[in-house]
Amino acid sequence: MIDIIPSILTNDPKELREMLTRCKGVVKRVSIDIIDGKFVNNKTVDPSFLSNLDTNLKIDYQLMVLEPINWIKRCVRGQADRIIGHIEKMSNQAEFIAKVQEAKVSTGLALDIATPVARLDATILNELDVILLMAVPSGFGGHSFDQRVLEKINRLAEVRAEKKRVFKIHVDGGITSESIYNVYRLGANEVSVGRLLFAGDLAENIKRFRKVAYKID
């Protein structure tokens, strides 16, 4: 089974609310990209903006920021269900995970497309709910799927099986009907899909992606 999660990357609070409204009753979880202008040259809405949002959606925050540990409180105020921090500008992975757990929120780490799996702190893999692998460069939408991520999915799936870990593997970026089958086949449990999923009927697009992933005619 693979979860197809709508991904939202925007600097427009009104657009964010509109996209979340479209997700209600269609999916249980959404992923919101948080970019601070320091990780890459782009900037999105602040998670605190969602502090008063009336929603049953489970919200993932993917932190593409300098020192993700400093954003945990804002994400909690923004009703986070999971907080996933990129390791590229993170000083200490174990400290970040501990702080997220202290906030009683599920936790994950994320790797940009050029970041090797070996950069993960192997001592904390049992503490992770999810490991997110970018299949495109972080911070901007519209890039094509990068085949390098397939080897990383395969490696993480092997580690998970060998060491009896329980983390999920999540792939974000460039997911199309051409790429989703291989991502699922190699061991990914979740994918994020952005504008492509919102183009047209959201529920029908999700069904179409699932059919391709499972090779259902």
In tens, the pLDDT along 41-73 reads: 889 999 988 999 899 999 999 999 999 999 999
Q: Looking at residues 11-26, what average pLDDT do you find? A: 95
Mean pLDDT computed over every residue of the chain:
94
**Residue of 120, 117, 63 lying closest to 86 (CA atoms):** 63
Q: Looking at residues 117-138, what average pLDDT do you find? A: 95
Task: Give dist(CA 216, CA 196) in Å, integer.
Answer: 20
**Residue of 96, 97, 94, 95 lying closest to 123 (CA atoms):** 94
Partners of 83 in the beta sheet?
61, 107
Task: Give dist(CA 58, CA 53) in Å, integer.
Answer: 12
In the chain, domain spans: 3-214
> For residues 131 and 168, is the Cβ–Cβ distance under 8 A?
yes
In the block, tokens 């989703």 appear at 180
Partners of 6 in the beta sheet?
193
Beta strands in 65-105 (DSSP E): 80-86
- The model's pTM is 0.95
pLDDT for 175-199, tens place per residue?
998 899 999 999 999 999 999 999 9
Task: Give dist(CA 44, CA 58) in Å, integer.
Answer: 19
Task: Give dist(CA 148, CA 114) in Å, integer.
Answer: 8
* CATH of region 3-214: 3.20.20.70
Three-class DSSP category at 205: helix
Partners of 82 in the beta sheet?
60, 106
